[in-house]
Amino acid sequence: MIFSIFKSENFVYNFFMKKFYFLCCFLFIVVFVGCEFYGGGSKVQIGDIVLSDGRVVPVEHYSFWKRIYEPVGVVVGVSGNNAMMMGLYKSSNSMSWAPRDTFGYNTKFVEIQASRFGSVESGYYFSGDLIGRDNWLDVCNSDSEGVLEPKNYPAFYFAYNYGSDFYYLNSEFNNGWYLPSVSELYAVFENKEVLQKSLNAVGGFDFGNNWYWSSSQASSANEGVYGVSFIKGEVNNNYKYCPAGYVIVFHDLNLHEV
């Protein structure tokens, strides 16, 4: 009888100790992963996954966090406590930057003008417009009436509506998506393999053999905008009316504590 009671109590003790052990392990993982890899720009790297609460985690830890938060982007650049991420979805169809016979097609937007140097073989570098976050605002300031019609600026409008179209309505990522500059877009191509691995892990898009619009006006012609081919990384001066360009979008990140 005494042995039976002792055996029963020992079973209960072992049962709760195992539960306590697993709880401690779970809390350790949450605290360690959350603190070690979120915030503090030096710990965030290109290819890390951005989650819906703003947390940034390495792609190899994503399988744990996906049970709790949805992915919203992949880190494409880091500078101190600031970073940029790329959205998980590209435009489903190719589109023009600005159709023929529109103000946007016939105008050289000086404020977003860039110059390109280099080649496919040597690589490219750029001057002028290097950051795309304010380029849509500059276009709006120059064409206050034309920008009211989405058909006049299809590529920009895909970026502008990205947050609401992809259901980020109740998060900090509802607004603020933008069409990257040619410098930012080319940096994506340079890190294409790392970024594609991360996109695959979260069910994002495939770069494919497409070329993508930047938001940078070419310095050489009113009708030209730079795009980047993701076959070999060629940076082209394309006619704005060309309907063959796809769009990817960027969003700024402030690497604050969650």
* 136 vs 20: CA distance, rounded Å: 54
The CA–CA distances, whole Å, from 123 to 4, 94, 118, 120, 236 equal 78, 25, 6, 5, 13
Please count the CA atoms within 13 angstroms of the CA of 51 that sit on its side-chain side.
21
| Interval 244-258: pLDDT, tens | 999 999 999 987 654
| Interval 25-43: pLDDT, tens | 444 444 444 443 444 334 8
| Interval 179-236: pLDDT, tens | 999 999 999 999 999 999 999 999 999 999 999 999 999 998 899 999 999 999 999 9
Kindly report the pTM of this predicted structure. Answer: 0.83
Task: Look at residue 168 in the predicted model and tell me its pLDDT.
Answer: 64
